Amino acid sequence: MYSVREFLEITEHELASLTYPPKPDGLYAPMRYALEEGGKRIRPILVLMGCNLFHESVTVARPAALAVEVFHNFTLLHDDIMDASDTRRGKPSVYKKWNENTAILSGDMMLIYAYRLLTRCEPHVVPRLLEVFNNVALGVCEGQQYDMEFETRENVSVDEYLEMIRLKTAVLLGGALQMGAICGGASAEQTELLYRFGLLIGLAFQLQDDLLDTYGDPALLGKPVGEDILAGKKNFLLSSALALATEEDRQQLLTLLHDNTLPAAEKIASVKAIYDKLNLKKRTEQKISEYFNTAFRTLDVLEIDPERLQPLRDLASELIKRQK
């Protein structure tokens, strides 16, 4: 049985051993850059963990772990263009370091690479892996589409927001765990339960992100709070506030969000005051706990030695209880 740390080491080792054709370097250099150390590698770790629940050696899951990480980084390359995000993990994003065309084309190539890596898994599991992967990948695209559409909409309901983050973030975490379990020889029922677990952890993970943006400690976060508020991002707190507030508070909230003359600190404080009135910190924490508890109950029906499940429980707890 491996620890989270060992899974991370395996992932980094595998990523470092990936070979690239010597040319055209303009196409492959951005892929190398995107996959350099620095990411949290949560998704490949989940693949390896999913496998290790059922299989002592995780060698059989290595290509799938790599495929998932390459896929994730493909989405980042393209998302950064779409969202005009200039930095990624403290470094210039690919489209900023090179240009948009390079980020488009290298991203495409990484998506194809992800598929190629998948086909290097044991032949008897490849069809099931492809089915999960195709659904996950389409879901992630749909999630990104909703995320972009929400930017220009006045109102986004809580359910719409949750559906968006389910697609954009959670299905890949669920799919990673499921694919690992498939590689490890789990039954269809077990892989479904692990998908469900990953999905719920993914939802909780994103809500924790939303919560920290407003209620986090800037010293621990390493960045200022309130960025979502300033960007008018319809995250869980804002979509909840728009649904729960009195008509008067709702109007005030919309006015505040559209007011670009207001100093940043004042805008954040005023929006936060409305959130406080609606008890949104506690509501969000409750929602996170709900997802978390449902996820952990899913593990109970898996019929796996509890000790064997411990690394997965630890990782999930860490992801959700994090303060940064």
Per DSSP, the residues of 111-153 read HHHHHHHHTTS-TTTHHHHHHHHHHHHHHHHHHHHHHHHHHT-
Q: Which is nearer to its own copies, 105 or 254 (CB)?
A: 105
Is residue 108 a contact residue for its own copies (CB under 8 A)? yes
Q: Which is nearer to its own copies, 111 or 243 (CB)?
A: 111
Q: Which is nearer to its own copies, 151 or 318 (CB)?
A: 151
Query: By three-state DSSP, how is residue 36 classified?
Result: coil
Is residue 3 a contact residue for its own copies (CB under 8 A)? no
Longest dimension (CA), the chain: 62
- Which residue is it, tokens 């411990």? 310
Query: By three-state DSSP, how is residue 222 classified?
Result: coil
Q: Which residue stretch of 20-28, 42-50, 238-246, 248-256 sits at the interface with its own copies (rule: CB under 8 A)?
A: 20-28
Q: Which is nearer to its own copies, 26 or 222 (CB)?
A: 26
CA distances from 260 to 121, 257, 268 (A): 52, 8, 12
- 96 burial (CB, 10 Å; 0-12 / 13-18 / 19+) is middle
Q: Which is nearer to its own copies, 36 or 100 (CB)?
A: 100
Is residue 222 a contact residue for its own copies (CB under 8 A)? no
The 10 Å Cβ neighbour count of residue 78 is: 20
CA distances from 23 to 18, 26, 177 (A): 15, 8, 34
Amino acid at 212: L
We find the least distance from the C-beta atom of residue 81 to its own copies, in angstroms, to be 6
Q: Which of 120, 292, 270, 277 is nearest to 206 (CA)?
A: 292
Is residue 231 a contact residue for its own copies (CB under 8 A)? no
Is residue 98 a contact residue for its own copies (CB under 8 A)? no
We find the least distance from the C-beta atom of residue 63 to its own copies, in angstroms, to be 13
Q: Which residue stretch of 22-30, 192-200, 227-235, 306-314 sits at the interface with its own copies (rule: CB under 8 A)?
A: 22-30
We find the least distance from the C-beta atom of residue 68 to its own copies, in angstroms, to be 14
Is residue 24 a contact residue for its own copies (CB under 8 A)? yes
Number of residues interacting with its own copies: please give it, by CB under 8 A: 35
Q: Which of residues 129-148 bind its own copies (CB under 8 A)?
A: 130-131, 134, 137-138, 141-142, 144-146, 148
Is residue 101 a contact residue for its own copies (CB under 8 A)? yes
Rounded to whole angstroms, the Cα distance separating 224 from 182 reads 41
List of residues contacting its own copies (CB under 8 A): 21, 24, 26-27, 78, 81-82, 100-101, 104-105, 107-109, 111-113, 115-116, 119, 123, 126-127, 130-131, 134, 137-138, 141-142, 144-146, 148-149
